[in-house]
């Protein structure tokens, strides 16, 4: 991951995690306030119930003319104390008995909550009931811990999901960058050969050495450079071009391409044979030329030196056969993908067959390949679907 990718990843995670955590914080804050009110109400109810129970026991005892005997409450978290009219302790199991404030009905210290009730009966010496508990404060502290832990875990989870999402989003970009880097390197390598031959031939031509041969090499090199440029331009800008349909004889177009590539194949001493029947089609001529040129160029590129390339049109099928390295079964499934090359030895960008496939799919042409390692490859394109004035059955035969 380079510096720019790390910067983009950090920016994405900062915005994504920051905004999501902020939203989670707001939701948890609302939840905390609601739960805090619920905890306070629950604590008040507990203390009030405990006070009512103590008061009821006191009244019941004195109604029976018995002295009230204090006893422990069922809820061990609640303590209480009894005071006379002078606020002197009659009974107490409070943990903070010295801190009772009789001027308030309910208040809170650092560790406990207190609930004070005054008895109005004149005949009863007990005048004050003070209830103490830490339930509310403990529950509130537990709630704080719960909210903070939940926020931290949520932030970690959100960060992890954000990281995975960013990796998924950056993956195609990374692959595209890798393809482009590879494409640029391949472009330099692919252009290097014809440019070197062109410069060498020009130099030799200046010296008057074998001018006829040097002119053939110059012509071959310029045509290779032109073919490379046309492929790059078509692959990059074809999306904005409109098709211009016209009726023409595919035989004439293929014938022109064979003559064109005869000057290129001379550098590998390859002979291009053609066996062409008439085949009138209705199609964009430029795109048809791209299909034919790329198939022939591909055949030359992957053919052995001093071999042949056979180009034929029979019925509605154009075939280009080479006797070169061949393509394995596994590579045949990938060979039409952009930037995919059969081998790195012969150079190329991996866009030629991609152009062929794209145009074939656009015009619904049937594209096929038969190949064997070490023997060669044959590419077939059936133009049946665009034959002017004809109807083809499913087997591709003209009726």
Of 25-39, 231-245, 292-306, the range with the lowest mean pLDDT is 231-245
Closest to 395 in 3D by CA, of 387, 386, 385:
385
Residues, the chain: 399
Task: List pLDDT tens digits, range 259-272.
Answer: 888 877 887 889 99
DSSP string, 333-375: TTTTSTT--S-STT---S-HHHHHHHHHHHTT-EEEEEEETTT
pLDDT band at 338 (very low <50, low <70, confident <90, very high): low
Task: List pLDDT tens digits, range 172-225.
Answer: 777 777 767 766 666 666 676 678 767 877 887 787 777 877 787 787 778 768
Of 30-39, 137-146, 207-216, 271-280, the range with the lowest mean pLDDT is 207-216
pLDDT band at 345 (very low <50, low <70, confident <90, very high): very low
Q: Decide: 339 and 182 in contact? Cβ < 8 Å.
A: yes
CB burial readout 62-92, b (16+ within 10 A) else e: beeeeebebeebeeeebbbbbbeeeeeeeeb
Task: List pLDDT tens digits, range 238-247.
Answer: 554 567 888 9
Q: State yes or no: pLDDT of 392 exceeds 50.
A: no
CATH class of domain segment(s) 241-386: alpha beta
Query: Tokens 């009138």 correspond to what residue?
Result: 280
Question: What is the mean predicted confidence (pLDDT) over 296-319?
Answer: 91
pLDDT at position 347 is: 45
CA distance 356 to 362: 10
Q: State yes or no: pLDDT of 340 exceeds 60.
A: no
Closest to 143 in 3D by CA, of 38, 27, 42, 32:
32
Burial class (CB in 10 A: 0-12, 13-18, 19+), 37: exposed
Task: Return the domain boundaries, the chain.
Answer: 3-143, 241-386
pLDDT at position 290 is: 86
**Using alpha carbons only, what angle is made at residue 210 by residues 205 and 213, rounded to the nearest 5 degrees?**
90
CA distance 180 to 178: 5
DSSP string, 13-41: HHHHHHHHHHHHHHHHHHHHHHHHHHHHH
Give this prediction's pTM.
0.50
Q: Two tokens at 8?
A: 């983009």
CA distance 324 to 345: 12
Q: State yes or no: pLDDT of 119 exceeds 80.
A: yes
How many percent of the chain have pLDDT more than 70?
A: 85
pLDDT at position 383 is: 92
- Cβ atoms < 10 Å from Cβ of 31: 14
pLDDT at position 394 is: 37
CA distance 223 to 231: 12
H helices of the chain, in order, are: 3-63, 135-206, 211-237, 250-265, 285-301, 329-332, 352-362
Task: List pLDDT tens digits, range 44-84.
Answer: 888 899 999 999 998 888 888 888 888 888 888 888 999 99
Q: State yes or no: pLDDT of 389 exceeds 70.
A: no
Orientation of helix 211-237 relative to helix 135-206, angle to 10°: 160
């Amino acid at each position: 991951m380079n510096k720019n990718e790390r910067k983009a990843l950090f920016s994405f995670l900062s915005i994504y995690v920051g905004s999501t955590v902020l939203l989670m914080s707001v939701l948890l804050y609302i939840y905390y306030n609601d739960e805090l009110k619920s905890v306070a109400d629950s604590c008040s109810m507990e203390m009030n119930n405990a006070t009512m129970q103590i008061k009821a026991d006191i009244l019941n005892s004195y109604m029976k003319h018995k002295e009230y005997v204090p006893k422990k409450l069922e809820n061990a978290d609640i303590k209480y104390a009894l005071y006379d009219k002078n606020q002197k302790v009659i009974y107490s199991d409070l943990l903070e008995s010295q801190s009772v404030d009789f001027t308030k009905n309910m208040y809170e210290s650092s560790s406990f909550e207190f609930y004070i009730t005054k008895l109005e009966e004149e005949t009863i010496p007990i005048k004050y009931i003070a209830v103490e508990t830490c339930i509310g404060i403990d529950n509130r502290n537990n709630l704080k811990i719960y909210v903070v832990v939940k926020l931290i875990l949520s932030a970690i989870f959100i960060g992890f999901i954000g990281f995975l999402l960013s990796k998924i989003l950056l993956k195609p970009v990374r692959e595209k960058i890798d393809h482009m880097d590879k494409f640029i390197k391949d472009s330099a390598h692919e252009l290097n050969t014809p440019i070197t031959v062109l410069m060498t031939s020009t130099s030799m031509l200046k010296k008057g050495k074998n001018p006829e041969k040097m002119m053939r090499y110059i012509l071959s090199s310029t045509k290779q450079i032109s073919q490379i440029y046309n492929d790059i331009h078509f692959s990059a800008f074809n999306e904005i071009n409109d098709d211009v349909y016209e009726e023409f004889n595919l035989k004439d177009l293929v014938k022109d391409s064979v003559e064109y590539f005869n000057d290129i194949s001379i550098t590998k001493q390859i002979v291009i044979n053609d066996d062409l029947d008439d085949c009138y089609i209705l199609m964009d001529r430029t795109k048809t030329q791209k299909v034919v040129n790329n198939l022939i160029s591909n055949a030359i590129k992957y053919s052995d030196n001093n071999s042949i390339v056979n180009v034929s049109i029979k019925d509605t099928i154009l075939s280009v056969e080479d006797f070169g390295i061949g393509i394995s079964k596994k590579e045949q499934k990938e060979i039409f993908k952009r930037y995919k090359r059969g081998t790195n030895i012969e150079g190329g960008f991996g866009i030629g067959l991609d152009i062929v496939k794209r145009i074939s799919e656009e015009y619904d042409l049937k594209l096929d390949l038969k190949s064997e390692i070490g023997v060669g490859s044959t590419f077939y394109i059936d133009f049946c679907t665009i034959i002017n004035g004809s109807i083809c059955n499913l087997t591709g035969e003209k009726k």
